[in-house]
Amino acid sequence: MDGAVALGTFLQHLINGLTLGAIYGLIAIGYTMVYGIIRMINFAHGEIYMVGAFVAVTAFTLLAVLGITAVPLALVIVLLVAILFTAAYGWTVERIAYRPLRGAPKLAPLISAIGMSILLQNYVMLTQGARPKPLPPVLTGGITLWQGEGFSLGITYIQLFIILLTVALMTGFTLLITRTALGRAQRACEQDRTMAGLLGINVDRTISMTFVMGASLAAVAGVLVTMYYGVIDFYIGFLAGMKAFTAAVLGGIGSLPGAMLGGLLIGLIEAFFTGYVSGAYKDVAAFSILILVLVLRPTGLLGRPDIEKV
Amino acid sequence: MSLLTLKGVRTNYGPIEALRGVDVEVNQGEIVTLIGANGAGKSTLLMTICGQPRPSAGTITYEGRVINDLPPHETAKLGIAQVPEGRRIFPRMTVFENLQLGATLADPQHFETDLAYCLDLFPILKQRRDQRAGTLSGGEQQMLAISRALMGRPRLLLLDEPSLGLAPLIIRRIFDVIADLNRTRGMTILLVEQNAYHALKLAHRAYVLQQGLVVMQGGGKELLANPEVRAAYLEGGAH
């Protein structure tokens, strides 16, 4: 029977890890896309995700006040509102903090990003308060997959929702990048911005759209994490941002499938480390991975070295 | 009728003045060529026309409109296409995607016709259609770069050293295509070349650029016969 317990526990960690990984993956896409197009790490991206989470709490609370309690309807409204607001933040950050520095030495936008990150954190702390914000459970219950002696394996509806929504979004997003004119324009700007401009692509607008897309996915991650943990504060963007960044580097920064894979791996590593070693040191595990990747394989798992045949 | 006029155009890269007051005129339906040594400012001239970098002085007039301050995506809208130095195809996209990008501003209704036209012009691209453009040979990349520009149905085609580094047979093919575009489609062409012999033979008119200044101009055949031009750009050069 011990074998069954061990397997059940393993599978439970796997489900938890997949859920976490989905959230990291959604945030990591924003890092990787922005890096791809302007070769810059948007250190304010974690804060964009945090803003998404706050919009979610506010929206859920408002909907409850308005008496809209049907869960599917509330979810759709909250997701749309969060995407809308958070995308506006993402767009604005690029417009005021990065675009004026285009063509400046690489360090300038990086410092600007760190500044934006601190600004957003303090802005949310001032307007929303520094205390953690709780959210009553929106989706409760779950499915028991396996009931054994002394253990049970289950997946909650929230976990299921997070995993399914993430898979759907990543599929849609991949199609957007590979099949549409906008995705093609983005890839063109990634490879040769000057040439893209010569062909009539509005490079600035394409970069703006990249920030809007990254922020939209981060907003979804913010909504999901709010529902999953039920409590947020103005500081959650920092750690989540760092881990998603780690995920993007692990997968190979600039690579879209890399960000998805990296997010998944970081989520799994964290869940298994928590389960089998220690929950208190799970962040150590994630960042040790970052260091190892940077030392052993700087281009990441799916990244390609920046050497091109010309 | 003048399609493009440059008057006293100056362009700086930081403290370096790459163009020092250039006057060039391109008439509707002409092939005009710019010849000159490395670093004479030929590529800068083409890029300045497209709006990147912008000129620091002088005026660029296209179809009667001053276009000095237009960014590249706006000059592209006016029907100016460039086949830039080094081809600059998108290496990690397929040949087909590169051509789609060339048609960014074109009427989608023309896409199939224009695609067929380009693939007919350079049949090798048909075989390479779904291949990553970075895997093409230099000649094939040049054909792709030209086709990509044609997909936008330009009225003014700027070509920057299309023969550079290519085998003689391919060079001949490319110059044939240029002549043909001009003859059958009436396309106006501004051609920058180091391969002065071919360029001058093809061009209606030509300019010689030296250290950011026009030092000589005239008919293509006329310059081809000019002893100074022969000494500087032809004798011992590649032809």
Q: Which residues of A touch B104 (CB under 8 A)?
A: 181, 185, 199-201
Distance CA B233, CA A89 (A): 57
Q: What is the pLDDT of residue A50?
A: 97
Q: Could you tell me the sign of the dihedral formed by the alpha carbons of A160, A164, A169, A171, in that order?
A: positive
Contacts of A194 in chain B (CB under 8 A): 52, 72, 84, 88
| CA of residue A189 relative to chain centroid, distance | 23
Residue A254 has a CB neighbour count (10 Å cut-off) of: 23
| pTM for this predicted structure | 0.92
CA of A304: which chain B residue's CA is closest?
B92
Spatial separation of the C-alpha atoms in residues B89 and B54, rounded to whole Å: 23
The alpha carbon of residue B210 and the mean position of all alpha carbons in its chain are separated, in whole angstroms, by: 18
Q: Which residues of B touch A179 (CB under 8 A)?
A: none
A45 pLDDT higher than 60: yes
Q: Is A201 within 8 Å of B134 when comparing Cβ atoms?
A: no
CA B108 to chain centroid? 24
Place of tokens 């709006």: B51
Beta bridge partners of B26: B4
CA distance B214 to B42: 10
Contact B105/A at CB under 8 A: yes
What's domain B2-79+154-234's superfamily in CATH? P-loop containing nucleotide triphosphate hydrolases (3.40.50.300)
Boundaries of every domain in chain B = 2-79+154-234, 89-153
**Residue numbers in A near B50 (CB within 8 A):** 198
> Mean pLDDT score of chain B, rounded to an integer?
94
Tens digit of each residue's pLDDT (9 = 90 or more) over B137-154: 999 999 999 999 999 999
Judge whether B165 is closer than 8 Å to chain A, CB to CB. no
Q: Do B97 and A184 touch (CB under 8 A)?
A: yes
pLDDT in tens, A234-286: 999 999 999 999 999 999 999 999 999 999 999 999 999 999 998 888 889 88
Which among A186, A195, A256 is the top mutation candidate for probing chain B, defined by the most B β-carbons within 10 Å of its own β-carbon?
A: A195
Tell me which fold the domain A2-296 belongs to: ABC transporter involved in vitamin B12 uptake, BtuC (1.10.3470)
Cβ pair B175, B202 in contact under 8 A: yes
Structure tokens at A235: 């500081």
Contacts of A176 (CB under 8 A, 6+ apart): A182, A183, A213
Residues of A within 8 A of B76 (CB-CB) are: 197-200
CB-CB neighbors (< 8 A) of B100 in chain A: 181, 184
Residue-wise DSSP of A94-151: IIIIIGGGTTS-THHHHHHHHHHHHHHHHHHHHHH-SS-EE---SS--EEEEEEETTE
Span A166-222, pLDDT tens digits: 999 999 999 999 999 999 999 999 999 999 999 999 999 999 999 999 999 999 999
pLDDT category at A298 given cuts 50, 70, 90 is confident
Amino acid letter at B122? Answer: F
Best A179, A180, A199 member to test B by mutation, with max B CBs in 10 Å, is: A199
Read off the tokens for A230: 């039920």
Q: Is B146 helix (H, G, I), strand (E, B) or coil?
A: helix
Q: What is the pLDDT of residue B70?
A: 97
**Span of A41-55, A271-285, B198-212 with lowest mean pLDDT:** A271-285
Distance (Å, whole) CA B15 – CA B11: 10
Cα separation, B229 vs B208, in Å, equals: 8
**Closest CA in chain B for residue A188:** B90
Domain ranges in chain A?
A: 2-296
CA distance A226 to chain B (A): 38
